[in-house]
Amino acid sequence: MGTSGRGTQARGGYRVRPVRELMPDRGRAVGLLRPEPPFLIASTLLVPGYIDAQEVGHIAGFIASLNPEIPYSLLAFHPDYKMTDLAPTSWKQAEECFEAARQAGLKHVRVGNLHLLGLA
């Protein structure tokens, strides 16, 4: 397998090419050819014992230093699969982390997975 300026050589001798090359009009129709950078959302999973308000404040401060308009989503955690020994995110932790992110200068902060906090 190798790469070239027009695609890559795939198994079986087929050449893989970007959609915008194969169907330039379709690429434009679905937004593949954008003049501006893609939309960005930063998110942090609020795992108790791993992430606290101080950590969120540092993360949010870094994001705000790039652009305070970047949306930041704080996601409530639910113990599942191989992390069943941890507690779910508490309402108190979510609220403290939300405040830390706002105080760090971010303008668009939200808490996701509200149903895990018993609020949805």
Does the predicted TM-score (pTM) go above 0.75? no
Note the pLDDT tens digit of each residue in 87-111. 999 999 999 999 999 999 999 999 9
Give the strand order in the sheet containing 15-16: 3-4, 7-9, 15-16
Note the pLDDT tens digit of each residue in 56-83. 999 999 999 999 999 999 999 999 888 8
Q: Where are the domains of the chain?
A: 42-117
| CB-based burial, 42-71: b 16+ in 10 Å, e otherwise | bebebbeeebebeebbebbeebbeeeeebe
Of 112, 91, 119, 114, the residue nearest 45 (C-alpha) = 112
